Amino acid sequence: MNPTSSDAVHEDGSLDRLSIDTIRTLSIDAVEKANSGHPGTPMALAPVGYTLWRDFLRYDPDTPDWPNRDRFVLSVGHASMLLYALLHLAGVKEIDADGNESGLPAVSLEDIRQFRQLGSKTPGHPEYRMTTGVETTTGPLGQGCANSVGMAIAERALAARFNRDGITLFDHDVYVLCGDGDMMEGISGEAASVAGHLGLSNLCWIYDSNSISIEGSTELAFTEDVGRRFEAYGWNVIHVDDANDTRAIAQALEKFRAENDRPTFIVVRSVIGWGSPRAGSEKAHGEALGADNVRATKKAYGWPEDAQFLVPDGVAEAFRSAIAGRGRPAREAWEAEFDRYAKRFPEAADELQLLRQGKLAAGWDADIAAFPADAKGLASRDAGGKVLNAIAPHVPLLMGGAADLSPSTKTLLTFEGAGSFEPDSYGGRNMHFGVREHAMGAIANGMALSYVRPYTATFLVFADYMRAPIRLAAIMEIPTVFVFTHDSIGVGEDGPTHQPIEHLATLRAIPGLDTIRPCDANEVAAAWKVALSHTHEPTALILSRQALPTLDRSRYAAADGLQRGAYVLADCAGGDPEIILIATGSEVSLAIEAHEKLSGDGVKSRVVSMPSWYLFEKQDAGYRERVLPRSVKARLAIEQAGSLGWDRYVGMDGATITMSTFGASAPLAKLQQKFGFTLDNVLKVARELIASAP
Portions of the chain given CATH number 3.40.50.920? 564-692
Residue 585 has pLDDT above 70, yes or no: yes
Segments in 287-314 forming alpha helices (H): 291-301
> Which of 314, 294, 280 has its CA nearest to residue 27?
294
pTM of the model: 0.96
pLDDT tens-place string over residues 434-447 = 999 999 999 999 99
Note the pLDDT of residue 2. Answer: 36
Confidence bin at 559 (pLDDT 50/70/90): very high
Architecture of the domain spanning 3-330: 3-Layer(aba) Sandwich (3.40)
Confidence bin at 222 (pLDDT 50/70/90): confident
Residue 11 has pLDDT above 90, yes or no: no
Rounded mean pLDDT of the chain?
94
Note the pLDDT of residue 575. Answer: 87
Q: Mean pLDDT, to the nearest integer, of 177-183?
A: 96
Residue 76 has pLDDT above 50, yes or no: yes
pLDDT tens-place string over residues 92-106 = 999 998 889 999 999
Asked if residues 591 and 607 have their Cβ atoms less than 8 Å apart, the reply is yes
Note the pLDDT of residue 4. Answer: 34
Q: Mean pLDDT, to the nearest integer, of 133-162?
A: 98
Residue 234 has pLDDT above 70, yes or no: yes
Confidence bin at 288 (pLDDT 50/70/90): confident
- Catalytic residues, by residue number, are 437
Least confident of 4-13, 243-252, 422-431, 590-599: 4-13
pLDDT tens-place string over residues 37-72 = 988 899 999 999 999 999 999 999 999 999 999 999
Residue 273 has pLDDT above 70, yes or no: no
Least confident of 6-20, 385-399, 469-483, 609-623: 6-20
C-alpha 518/C-alpha 459 separation (Å) is 16
Segments in 138-279 forming alpha helices (H): 143-162, 180-184, 186-198, 226-233, 246-258
Note the pLDDT of residue 5. Answer: 34
Determine the angle formed by the axes of helices 143-162 and 186-198, rounding to 10 degrees. 20
Asked if residues 448 and 473 have their Cβ atoms less than 8 Å apart, the reply is yes
* Contact residues for 473 (Cβ-Cβ < 8 A; gap 6+): 441, 445, 448, 480, 482, 513, 538
Question: Within its chain, how far is the Cα of 282 from the centroid?
Answer: 30
Note the pLDDT of residue 275. Answer: 67
Note the pLDDT of residue 214. Answer: 77
Note the pLDDT of residue 9. Answer: 39
Q: What stretches of 312-425 adopt beta strand conformation (E)?
A: 374-379, 398-402
Asked if residues 355 and 451 have their Cβ atoms less than 8 Å apart, the reply is yes
The long-range contacts involving 273-280, CB below 8 angstroms and separated by at least 24 positions, are: 273/39, 273/40, 273/43, 273/44, 273/297, 274/24, 274/43, 274/44, 274/243, 274/244, 275/24, 275/43, 275/300, 275/301, 276/39, 276/40, 276/43, 276/300, 279/40, 280/210, 280/212
Q: Mean pLDDT, to the nearest integer, of 162-170?
A: 96
Residue 280 has pLDDT above 80, yes or no: no
pLDDT tens-place string over residues 80-96 = 999 999 999 999 999 99
Least confident of 15-19, 268-272, 363-367: 268-272
Is the C-alpha dihedral spanning 440, 191, 45, 174 positive or negative?
A: negative
DSSP string, 529-596: HHHHH-SS--EEEE--SSEEEE--TTTS--GGGGGGS-EEEE--SSS--SEEEEE-GGGHHHHHHHHH
DSSP letter (8 states) at residue 369: P
Residue type, 431: M
Portions of the chain given CATH number 3.40.50.970? 3-330, 374-549
**Radius of gyration, CA atoms only, the chain:** 28
Q: Comparing 127 with 281, which gets the higher pLDDT?
A: 127
Residue 639 has pLDDT above 90, yes or no: yes
By the 10 Å C-beta count (0-12 exposed, 13-18 middle, 19+ buried), 545 is classed as buried
Residue type, 108: S
Confidence bin at 218 (pLDDT 50/70/90): confident
Architecture of the domain spanning 564-692: 3-Layer(aba) Sandwich (3.40)
Q: Mean pLDDT, to the nearest integer, of 150-166?
A: 97
Phi then psi for residue 642, to 5 deg, are: -65, 160
Note the pLDDT of residue 219. Answer: 86
Residue 277 has pLDDT above 70, yes or no: no
Neighbours of 451 (CB within 10 A): 20
Tell me the CA distances in angstroms from 603 to 109, 580, 686, one per residue in order.
Answer: 69, 11, 10
* Contact residues for 40 (Cβ-Cβ < 8 A; gap 6+): 212, 272, 273, 276, 279, 281, 284, 285, 286
- Whether CATH 3.40.50.970 fits 374-549: yes
C-alpha 465/C-alpha 650 separation (Å) is 31
Note the pLDDT of residue 215. Answer: 78
Residue type, 54: R
Residue 455 has pLDDT above 50, yes or no: yes
The long-range contacts involving 368-374, CB below 8 angstroms and separated by at least 24 positions, are: 368/525, 368/528, 368/529, 370/522, 370/525, 370/553, 371/520, 371/521, 371/522, 371/525, 371/550, 372/550, 373/550, 373/551, 373/552, 373/553, 373/554, 374/549, 374/550
* Contact residues for 555 (Cβ-Cβ < 8 A; gap 6+): none
Asked if residues 441 and 474 have their Cβ atoms less than 8 Å apart, the reply is no
Note the pLDDT of residue 649. Answer: 98
Note the pLDDT of residue 110. Answer: 98
Neighbours of 683 (CB within 10 A): 16
Note the pLDDT of residue 42. Answer: 94
Note the pLDDT of residue 371. Answer: 98
> Which of 674, 634, 564, 158 has its CA nearest to residue 396?
158
Asked if residues 84 and 107 have their Cβ atoms less than 8 Å apart, the reply is yes
